[in-house]
Amino acid sequence: RHTYDWTGHGCGCDGCRTIQLLALGPDIQENLISTTSRTLRDVTPTIGELLGFISEDATGTVMDELFRTTGIVDDLTINTVGSTNIILLWSPVYGAIEYNVYWGTSPDTIDSLAASTTNEFWIDSGALNHPARYYQVTVTY
């Protein structure tokens, strides 16, 4: 908001120096207040990124700090449980919002989403009744 020292748009008050942008959606980090210095020119490419279009003529940059990031769990352990089930186990990842379990029939085709979970494990029921499966777990921050 403008302060009592406000003299006109573009002065040095907080209201003129602060961009207020409320970004909501599944790809936006929750409860984030960005302290990165930005200009109004950054709003257009950021909205383009959110909506999936390229803003070719925009002169700003995408506010990447708003978006959730993903990574791959690097300590995945796979064990059999009983005669038909497979359990996937991994260590908790600090700041994780959820884990996504993917599988495929070869190491190059691990692209089928099997489950999303907040747990550090997942059981593939009946997996041993199917051809070989390859797994990967990603984490969303």
Domains of the chain: 14-66 (no CATH), 70-140 (2.60.40.10)
Q: What's the chain's length in residues? A: 141
pLDDT tens per residue across span 49-63: 888 888 889 999 999
Q: Could you tell me the sign of the dihedral formed by the alpha carbons of 106, 110, 111, 114, in that order?
A: positive
Residue pair 114/105 in contact by the 8 Å Cβ criterion: no
Beta strands in 6-141 (DSSP E): 70-72, 77-81, 85-89, 98-104, 112-117, 121-124, 134-140
Residue 81 pairs in a beta bridge with: 85
Q: Please tell me what DSSP assigns to residue 45.
A: H
pLDDT top residue among 3 and 131: 131
Q: What are the structure tokens assigned to 141, written together?
A: 């921050």
Question: CB-side exposure of 64: number of CA atoms within 13 Å?
Answer: 3
Residue 126 pLDDT:
84
Residue that the structure tokens 């383009």 belong to: 48
Is residue 105's pLDDT more than 90? yes
- Using a 10 angstrom Cβ sphere, with 0-12 exposed, 13-18 middle and 19 or more buried, the burial of residue 91 is exposed
pLDDT, mean of residues 105-110: 94
